[in-house]
Amino acid sequence: MVTLTINGRPVTTTVANDTPLLWLLRDQLELTGTKFGCGSGICGACTVLVNDEAIRACSVTVASLADAQIVTIEGLAGEGRVQQPDSLAEQVIAAWIAEQVPQCGYCAPGLIIATVALLRRTPHPSDDDIDAAITNLCRCGTYPRIRKAIHRAASALPQSSHAQSPHGTPPAP
């Protein structure tokens, strides 16, 4: 039995300790915005935030996350959002729509999470920063638009913006 913090809420689970986080999210908690793509930590479709870092949920076990803060796409956006509005995530999602990034859309939640993690660390990334940080795969080939969307989201952030914790209070307006 392990207790994790997912989208700000404690979750106690009885799945086997070696179960990857991905399958706890998808099958037990029905948080299906986190996608299964490769199961090997390569494609990034299952990217979630673990203590603000972008992590492949298929490649970490539930047992290793007992003290971790986990945020999925549902924790950042949509009706199921369970925490305070995350203005950075909102900017990233708005940029994804404005640049009409998604085609099949299967990679989108993982990429948005990866971008949120990047912009928290590096609010105004260069193309090289983006190349290094965004390793998620998109088989539809939306990469040129992903790059544009990241720059668009970054340009909507204040120039002096500092990394903002998803669990802390949003900055004063």
Partner 1 sequence: MSPLINLSRRAVLKGSGALILGFHLPFLPVPAAMAGSSPMAINAWLKMSSDTVAVIVARSEMGQGVFTTLPMLVAEELDVDWQTVRAEMAPLDPVYANPLLGSMKTGNGTSLASGFLPLRQAGAAARLMLMAAAARIWRVPLTELTATAGVVGHAPSDRQASYGALAGLAGRQPVPPDPPLRDPTTWTLIGRSPPRLDSPAKVIGQATFGVDVRLPNLLHAAIRHCPVLGGTLGKIDDSALKAKAKDKERSPTGYRPGVIAVVPLTNAVAVVAESWWQAQTALADIAVSWNEGANADLTSASLDSALTKALDTTDSHAIAIAVSHGDADHAIAGAARVVEAVYHQPFLAHAPLEPMSATASVTATGCTLWLPTQDQEQYAKLLPPLLGLKPSQITVNTTFLGGSFGRRLESDFGIQAALLSKAVGRPVRLVWSREEDIRHDFYRPASVSRVTVGLDAADRLIGWRHRIVAPSILARVDPGALKNGLDSAMIAGLDDQSYALPALLIDSVRRDTGVPVGFWRSGWHSNNAFSTESMIDEVAAAIGRDPGHLRRTLLTDVPRTLGVLDLVIARAHWDRPLAPVTGGRRGRGLALHQAFGSVVAEVAEVTVFDDGRLRVDRVVAVVDCGLVVHPDVVKSQIEGAILFGLSAALTGKITFDKGQVLQSNFHDAKALTLAEAPTIEVYLVESREAPSGVSDAGTPPIAPALTNAIFDATGQRLRRLPVADHDLRAQ
Residues that bind partner 1 (CB under 8 A): 15-16, 19-20, 23, 26-28, 30-40, 42-43, 45, 72-74, 76-79, 93, 96-97, 100-109, 112, 130-132, 134-147
Residues 6+ apart with CB under 8 A from 130: 118, 147, 150
DSSP state, residue 103: S
Tell me whether residue 123 or residue 153 sits nearer to partner 1 (CB atom).
153
The helix or strand, by DSSP H or E, that contains position 23, with its residue range, turns out to be helix 21-23
DSSP state, residue 57: G
Give the nearest distance from C-beta 160 to partner 1 in angstroms: 27
CA 138 to mean position of chain CA atoms: 15
Tell me whether residue 146 or residue 162 sits nearer to partner 1 (CB atom).
146
Tell me whether residue 62 or residue 173 sits nearer to partner 1 (CB atom).
62
